[in-house]
Amino acid sequence: MTENQDLLLQTLFAEAQQDLSAEAFTARVMTRTQILRYRVAVGLICVALALAICAWLLALPAQEIAQLIVQGLNTTLLDLGDGWPAWLLAPVNNIASLFVLSLKGILTIRKKIIGASYKI
Amino acid sequence: MHKTQDYYPNCPEAMIVSLARTGDRSAFADLVRRRQSSIRNLMRRCSGDITLAEDLAQQVFIQVWLKIHTLKQASAFSAWLKRLAISVWLQYLRKNDALRDADALAETELAHNDTTSEGMDLDQALAALSNPVRLCIVLAYHEGMSHGEIADLMDMPLGTIKSHIKRGTERLQQCLSAYQDHKEKLQ
């Protein structure tokens, strides 16, 4: 739909429309998309290689750090000896459970204060 | 350079669009072949420079190639392509900072063009307009879009679009008056 269009301009715009040859233009566009495809493929290969190299280089240090964290979180809070109380309280008698319970407590208090709902 | 071949001469466009969405390069080439003329003409009217228009039109189809999988309805391809073409043109203007000083520039150009308006063809006359005004005029006259559609597309107030089109039309009438006189004489 057009509003209050000038007739001369309408005519001029219609006359200026040329039926342009498609072959060369289409070929150029297809060549450019092909180049783009190669570039994307090369980029993806480079990223994959970089990730593989990083994984190879950092695998051992990352594993060591993970082990240290796990050991730290497993550290017992109270020495309860080797009896059944130690065995029974093992799931909560460590730094990891202290973290989880503290977080849960903080969120519960916050929820009560603010009145918002949180999920953990 | 690639040789292109018409693989789908009698297929409806919606079907070719659907094929192109799946990554079919032949279907995409066919879409380019079918739509290149209108996009190249649009870019020629917008830029007034054939070389630039060719490059921008190619960029439009590369964008189509990259984004066609996001097109939800194959039947909406025509409007989507038009929107993409305008977006490429606006990006070009923003990249070249052409919108900022466009009005001031156009006024300067108009002052020079006033004395030499005879024989100006449409593209030359369009070149005398500021970029936003020219785009509004091209969308209204070349694409046949309503003022409301242009306002939506360009994300501008309807009043501004109407004012741009009014101003542009007056300016073009002024620039092309010689052409009109010549045409009347011929008739």
Searching chain A, which residue's CA lies closest to the CA of residue B180? A8
Domain ranges of chain A: 1-59, 75-120
Searching chain A, which residue's CA lies closest to the CA of residue B41? A17
Searching chain B, which residue's CA lies closest to the CA of residue A27? B2
Predicted local distance difference test score (pLDDT) of residue B6: 62
Predicted local distance difference test score (pLDDT) of residue A4: 67
DSSP calls for B94-162: HHTTTTTTHHHHHHHHHHHHGGG-TT--HHHHHHTS-HHHHHHHIIIIIS---HHHHHHHHT--HHHHH
End-to-end CA, chain A: 55
Separation in Å, CA of B112 to nearest CA in chain A: 22
B4 to A23: CB separation less than 8 angstroms, yes or no: yes
Substitution target from B65, B120, B171 for chain A, most A beta carbons within 10 A: B65
Predicted local distance difference test score (pLDDT) of residue B31: 93
Q: What is the pLDDT of residues B51-67, one digit of tens each?
A: 999 999 999 999 999 99
DSSP calls for A18-56: -----HHHHHHHHHHHHHHHHHHHHHHHHHHHHHHHHHH
Q: How many other C-beta atoms can be found within 10 angstroms of the C-beta atom of residue A68?
A: 10
Which residue of B4, B172, B176 is in closest CB contact with A27? B4
Predicted local distance difference test score (pLDDT) of residue B54: 94
- At residue A76, the 3 state secondary structure works out as strand
Domain ranges of chain B: 13-95, 102-186
DSSP calls for A86-104: HHHHTTTSBHHHHHHHHHH
- Answer yes or no: is the ipTM higher than 0.95: no
Substitution target from A33, A37, A38, A39 for chain B, most B beta carbons within 10 A: A33
Separation in Å, CA of B52 to nearest CA in chain A: 13
Predicted local distance difference test score (pLDDT) of residue A112: 86
10-residue mean pLDDT series, chain A (120 residues):
72 82 91 93 97 93 92 86 82 89 92 67
Look up residue B46 and give its two tokens: 């917008």
For residues B158-170, give the mean pLDDT: 91
Tell me whether residue A63 is exposed, middle or buried, using C-beta atoms within 10 angstroms of its C-beta: 0 to 12, 13 to 18, 19 or more.
Answer: exposed
CATH fold, domain B102-186, is Arc Repressor Mutant, subunit A (1.10.10)
Going by the DSSP 8-state scheme, the letter that residue B3 receives in this structure is -
DSSP calls for B74-95: GGGHHHHHHHHHHHHHHHHHHH
Which residue of A9, A22, A32 is in closest CB contact with B58? A32
Report residue A94: phi and psi, to 5°: -155, 170
Query: Kind and range of the H or E element at A69?
Result: helix A23-74
Q: Is A32 in the B-facing interface, judged by CB distances under 8 Å?
A: yes
Size of interface A-B (CB pairs under 8 A): 92
Q: What is the pLDDT of residues B121-161, one digit of tens each?
A: 788 888 888 888 999 999 999 888 899 988 888 888 999 99
Residues from chain B contacting residue A5 (CB–CB below 8 Å): 140-141
Which residue of A9, A13, A33 is in closest CB contact with B65? A33
Question: What size, in residues, is chain A?
Answer: 120
Residues from chain A contacting residue B140 (CB–CB below 8 Å): 2, 5
CATH classification of B13-95 is 1.10.1740.10, yes or no?
yes
Q: Secondary structure of chain B: what % helix, strand, coil (to 5)?
A: 75, 0, 25
Beta bridge partners of A76: A94
Residue B7 confidence (pLDDT) above 80: no
Residue B120 confidence (pLDDT) above 80: no
A20 to B146: CB separation less than 8 angstroms, yes or no: no
Residues from chain B contacting residue A19 (CB–CB below 8 Å): 37
Q: Is A7 in the B-facing interface, judged by CB distances under 8 Å?
A: no
Q: What is the pLDDT of residues B65-111, one digit of tens each?
A: 999 999 988 889 998 999 899 999 989 988 886 555 555 445 444 44
